[in-house]
Structure formats: C-alpha cells, structure tokens
Amino acid sequence: MGFLDAPRAAHRILPRPRQHRSAVASHACHEMMCLPGRTRPAPTRAWTLALGIACQTARSPSAKLVAYPGSQPDGRRADAPCRQPVHGCRRSSLCVSNADSIAFSTRQKHRSGTCIHPVPIRSCARRGAYQRMKLLVPNHLAPQHLERLRAIAGIELWLLEIDHRRPLLMKLSAATAKRVLPYTAYERVRGALEASRVSLSIDGTPLGPEVPGPEVLVATWAFDARLVARLLNALPDLRWIHSMVTGVDHFDLPTLAARGIQLTSPRSVHARRIAEFTLALVFADAKNVLEHAEATRRHRARFMASRELSELRLGIVGFGAIGRAVAALARSNGIQVDAYVRNMEHAAAMPGVRLTSDLMALLQAVDILVLALPSTPATRGLIGARQLAAMKPGATLINVGRGDTVAEKALVDALRKRHLRRAYVDVIEDPLTGRPTFAPPLKHPFYGLDNLVFTGYSSSESRNSAQELFDDFLDNLQRYRQGADLQNRIDLAAGY
C-alpha cells in the first residue's frame, strides 16, 4: 500500500459515526497488528500514521496526536522489548506496527493537569503501550544522585522512606547493658533490647500489601533481610534489584530466581581498591610498620629486620574479581602467589599464580593468607580452628571478605596463643542482623588483642567510591532500558 492509498484506508475508518469508531478502530488495530502468528507486510509511514490517528481518536476523541521522527523519546531502540500489555497505560494506548522509527505522544488532560506521555512504536510480537519505567530508590541517596536520576527522560522516580523507631526507654536500657554486661552476656539479650520497628513509605504513603508499578529497586547498606522480604512481597512488578553493596546474602535468592528477578552488585567496582588496600597491609606486615609505630609510642625505637617481598608466599582464598586483582598486584611486586579454587576444571588460569584445590596444603605453605570470600552456605565458617592450626607459626591473616567466613572464637584463640603473628580484619558480622558492621560492639574480644587490627570496612572506600558506585548503576540502568545483558549479575544458584 503506498502513500496515496493511506488516506483511503483511513477514510474507511474515520468517517463512520462516532459511536462506532471505537469498535471499528480497535478491530482494525487488532486485525492488522496484534494477532499473533499473522504475517503482514510492513506498513508504510503514511499508513501507520493514518491508522494510528484512527486508533487513538477512537479511544480518546479529544486527544491530540503528534508524530516525532527519529529515535525513541526515552533513548531506547525502536525494537526494544515492550514491558507493558496492550492498553496497559491508563493514560494513553496505541499499538502500531511500523518498520520506521517513529514516536508518538498524546496530549491528554489528567487529574495532575496537562501532561505528555510518549508512545513508542512496537512490532506485533512486542505490542503494548509505552509507560515510563518506575524506579524505586531509598531517599537517603545523595541529593546529587537523586537529581541525576530525575533528569533521565522516561523514568518515574519513587522515593522509599525507611524509618527505624525504638522507644527511648529501650535505647537507654541497651546503652546501659552494653557498658555493664560482658560481651557474651549482652549478646544474649541484645535482640530484645535493640529491636526496632521499621516503617516503610513510598513518597509519603505507607507501604501497602501490594504496590504495583516499580520494576527496578536500588538497595543500599540500610537494607537487611527483613526489609528486603517486605519489599519483595509488596512489589509484584519487580524485575531487577541493584545492590549498592557487594554482599548479597541478605536477599532471598531462591525467591528471586522463582520470580525471574535479576540481581546485580558492584563487585567489580571495588576490586581494584580492595586489592590496593590488601597490598598496603602486606607491605606494612612485611616491613614491621606497626611494630615501629608501637615502639615509637613507647619511646623505645629499635632496629628490626624486615622481610623482602620476593621471600613471601601469599595465599588467596576467594579467587573472584577481588582475589584476582590482589594476585595481579602481588605478582607485579615479585610476591609468590597461590590461590585456592574449589573446582580446578572451571578455574581460569592466571600467569604466575599457582592454583590448587587442596585448602589445607595451601594453608601450610603460605606466609600471608588473604581471604576474599562472599558469605554463602559453603563459605561460612570455612576457616575454623583446624584450618588456623594448620597455618605456619607466625603467619599473618588478612580478611577483606565477609567476617563469618572465619570462626571468630578460633581466630581470637590463635592470636592470644601467638600462633598467628597478626590478623587484619576489615569486616565482622553483626550477630543480631547477620550483616557487616563498621565496628565491633563494646567489650568485643577483638579490642583486647594487641596483634589484631580492625580496619572498619575501609578497604572498599575512597574519595571517589560513592560516585563510582552510582556510575556503575547508571551504566547498568542504560543496559536494562536497552534490553542488553546486565553487568555484575549475581548467580542466584551459587550466591555470588
């Protein structure tokens, strides 16, 4: 059908009486474009515009139709997958099949006033009406990041407000018990004293049992297992969760897999920073920096021989993005590197790194052990009393992974007996929430050890880390809107 035939086709639809236009136009849309399995030649630009006017006029006689040549209004490709069913948008609906890249928008009156809602062109297989993607983010994100999200066309930003409430008497009781009770005794009653009531609201409206709409959720450090479970139950349209923290053990991974929800984290963003931090600890340990600092503080400065880097053998348990970055930096400085992998067949070889599946043999051979493990059922408590006893006398342990991968009591005993020279711990787990904590609770046994350094979750932090984390999310957001594969996806079966 050519350009001259298009007005005739439109004439067969438009001149009918107004009471019949809806049925005729809806039938025309359905017959020409929305029947699955029907093969039709791609309509021309003029025919598409004429049929679009007919369809839209039938649904909203007062609507004004405007055509925009070029790309989609939200930056997506013309063939991007449609996420809304036909007539899914309550404000505007238009199902048009077109090989050309044309975008339509309708101007209609709504309760909120006059607004424009663009409607992209879809093919028969991807029929549907355009609706702005709803993005749910916590309101404690940095103001400049929220402004950048608001500036993105085609996104409707919803703010999640998280309010933790605890009675004043309970706060005072918890503070007193922390200072009076021993650490082990306080941990038994901590759950009752520090229990808080969390209230959630979206844009000032309390979170209901079901909130349709948001398909993308940004999770931050404030999200624990209980909060995530409430949101999963309340968001039926959720399709993707991006965690701004690397650890994802507080997510119900089987539920995400069953519902087809993708989960991503910024694990590759932190790798270089954590590797640099780890190498700094290796250098400090080899060159007796802490011993010199302590001697200076006591006015007893003395000579101490240090170890050369080429003499050291570094063992890495957790050979993912972080472990491989640590190995690369260590090898560039002449350090011998061994890495533990569970499955040698699927392990990716790395020049200069000796891989082994025998954990006990690795522990017996290395001078410094670096742990870069996630928290999964397979890794929790992996390094216990037996593993620590197998390490060389005078060896050093550096844990830049999750704290629950090392048995805390066994580590304290090994340090008190001086079997281990020193331990550097970046993260410990909060027994109440099971989440990483920035500092051990008061009267924690770590505070009484002179050969343990707790670095307070600092290995992944820098002046630029917050901006890099947000840029990583924006890059994935663009991929999601374009229908491309997301980066740093979590294997929901493996847990990392």
Q: pLDDT-derived band of residue 72, with 50, 70 and 90 as boundaries?
A: very low
Report if pTM > 0.75: no
pLDDT of residue 435: 63
67 with 161, same domain: the answer is no
Tell me which amino acid residue 425 is.
V
118 with 176, same domain: the answer is no
pLDDT digits (tens, 9 = 90+) for 154-176: 899 999 998 866 666 666 776 77
Domain boundary residue, one of 83, 111, 130 = 130
CA 109, CA 62: separation in Å to the nearest integer? 9
Domain boundary residue, one of 130, 165, 196 = 130
Q: Is 493 a member of any domain?
A: no
Bridge partners for 106 per DSSP: 65, 117
Return phi, psi of residue 201, to 5°: -145, 150
**Residue 391 pLDDT > 60:** yes
Cα first-last separation, the chain: 54
- Compute how many other C-beta atoms are within 10 angstroms of the C-beta atom of residue 7: 13
**Residue 423 pLDDT > 50:** yes
pLDDT of residue 114: 33
Query: 3-state class of 168 per DSSP?
Result: helix
For range 242-254, the mean pLDDT: 89
Q: Is 459 a member of any domain?
A: no
Residue 229: partners with Cβ closer than 8 Å, 6 or more residues away: 252
CA 429, CA 133: separation in Å to the nearest integer? 36
Q: pLDDT-derived band of residue 21, with 50, 70 and 90 as boundaries?
A: very low
Least confident of 30-44, 112-126, 204-218, 317-331: 112-126
SS (HEC) of 151-199: CCCCEEEEEEEEEEECCHHHHHHHHHHHHHCCHHHHHHHHHHHCCCEEE
Query: Which of 101-110, 127-136, 279-288 is modeled with the greatest confidence?
Result: 279-288
Least confident of 265-269, 287-291, 481-485: 265-269
166 versus 391: the higher-pLDDT residue is 391
440 with 364, same domain: the answer is yes
424 with 435, same domain: the answer is yes
178 with 242, same domain: the answer is yes
CA 194, CA 216: separation in Å to the nearest integer? 31
Query: Which of 152-166, 191-205, 374-388 is modeled with the greatest confidence?
Result: 374-388
Q: Is 244 a member of any domain?
A: yes
Return phi, psi of residue 163, to 5°: -125, 115
Tell me which residue range forms the domain holding 168.
Answer: 134-267+465-482
Q: Which two tokens stand for residue 184?
A: 């082990």
312 with 447, same domain: the answer is yes
CA 354, CA 340: separation in Å to the nearest integer? 9
pLDDT digits (tens, 9 = 90+) for 346-364: 778 899 999 999 999 999 9
CB-side exposure of 157: number of CA atoms within 13 Å? 15
Q: pLDDT-derived band of residue 449, with 50, 70 and 90 as boundaries?
A: very high
**Residue 374 pLDDT > 80:** yes
Residue 476: partners with Cβ closer than 8 Å, 6 or more residues away: 242, 264, 486, 487, 488
Backbone CA torsion sign across 167, 171, 173, 174 = positive
Q: pLDDT-derived band of residue 385, with 50, 70 and 90 as boundaries?
A: very high
Least confident of 73-82, 337-346, 382-391: 73-82
CA 185, CA 201: separation in Å to the nearest integer? 36
476 with 394, same domain: the answer is no
Q: Is 420 a member of any domain?
A: yes
CA 379, CA 494: separation in Å to the nearest integer? 11
Domain boundary residue, one of 130, 148, 173 = 130
Q: Is 401 a member of any domain?
A: yes
**Residue 69 pLDDT > 70:** no
pLDDT of residue 346: 76
Q: pLDDT-derived band of residue 184, with 50, 70 and 90 as boundaries?
A: low
361 with 448, same domain: the answer is yes
Say if CB 481 and CB 74 are below 8 A apart.
yes
377 with 430, same domain: the answer is yes
For range 411-430, the mean pLDDT: 92
162 with 227, same domain: the answer is yes
Q: Is 187 a member of any domain?
A: yes
CA 183, CA 30: separation in Å to the nearest integer? 70
Reference 194, options 180, 216, 177, 213; nearest CA is 177
CATH code, 347: 3.40.50.720
Mean pLDDT, the chain, whole residue set: 75
CA 50, CA 14: separation in Å to the nearest integer? 9
Return phi, psi of residue 122, to 5°: -125, 155
Query: 3-state class of 306 per DSSP?
Result: coil
Return phi, psi of residue 156, to 5°: -105, 115
CA distance to 161, 239, 253, 279, per residue, from 260 (Å): 26, 7, 10, 39
Say if CB 248 and CB 183 are below 8 A apart.
no
Counting the structural domains of the chain, the total is 3
pLDDT of residue 243: 94
285 versus 25: the higher-pLDDT residue is 285
* Cα 443 to chain centroid, rounded: 33
292 versus 433: the higher-pLDDT residue is 292
For range 7-20, the mean pLDDT: 41
For range 304-316, the mean pLDDT: 94
Q: Is 494 a member of any domain?
A: no
User: How many residues would you count in the chain?
Assistant: 496
Above pLDDT 90, what percent of the chain?
44
186, containing H or E segment: helix 183-193
For range 433-438, the mean pLDDT: 64
293 with 250, same domain: the answer is no
240 with 187, same domain: the answer is yes
Q: pLDDT-derived band of residue 88, with 50, 70 and 90 as boundaries?
A: very low
Q: Calculate Rg over the CA atoms of the chain.
A: 30
Q: Is 320 a member of any domain?
A: yes
